[in-house]
Structure 1
Amino acid sequence: MKDLLKFLKAQTKTEEFDAIKIALASPDMIRSWSFGEVKKPETINYRTFKPERDGLFCARIFGPVKDYECLCGKYKRLKHRGVICEKCGVEVTQTKVRRERMGHISWHVRLRTSGS
């Protein structure tokens, strides 16, 4: 047990920083990070419990709900990794990509900042 704790302590590497800079991202930069546009305020279909297309939890934008399975079920398993389903538009990959992917909302009016 001591060897395991020693190994885990050796693996944790902390980095020290002298400074950090935070800035607002431009609309073009946000669109470049985005995987798609969120067009609807809906989240989950109450009958199927699946994310609504183009909604806040959309599988097409953010990634699959189940590992290596598209939303409609056409592609299942690891052998279809990286394939984008023609029917539902979901990429067959791991669900943890949902934590990393970002969508954007387009506004029809220009948003004012406090400085202008």
Structure 2
Amino acid sequence: MQTLHASTPDDVHAAVAAHPWLLVDYYKDDCPACRMLDMSLRQFAASPGAAGLVLLKVKLETVGEDFFRGLGLRQTPTLALHVDGREAARLPGFQTPAQITQAVEAQAGGAPA
């Protein structure tokens, strides 16, 4: 699983447009659940379900709170799975590797082969 980092809201929009199978991790530095989610994402990345998926890391402190609020994000961490440019699933809070896998598999019809 390739990992990208967004520095601006435009970076986020460009990544959503450019990658048909994108998992976005919205996080903050001072968030214990965000650090735990990083461990889950590392485990998930090593699984077959992560093949073809791109991970975009979006830090609140970098892109700004107004951007987060504009997306309707209410907490960090939040994962958003985008398939062909549209948000297909949103997972607020800490997620285990199994929960991430389940969410991705539920949308697997849009996954690249």
**Quick check: TM above 0.5?**
no
Per residue, is there more helix in 1 or in 2? Answer: 2
- TM-score if structure 2 supplies the norm length? 0.25
- TM-score if structure 1 supplies the norm length? 0.24
Task: Give the structure, 1 or 2, with the largest relative contact order (CA under 8 Å, sep 6 or more).
Answer: 2
Q: Which has the larger radius of gyration?
A: 1
Per residue, is there more strand in 1 or in 2? Answer: 2
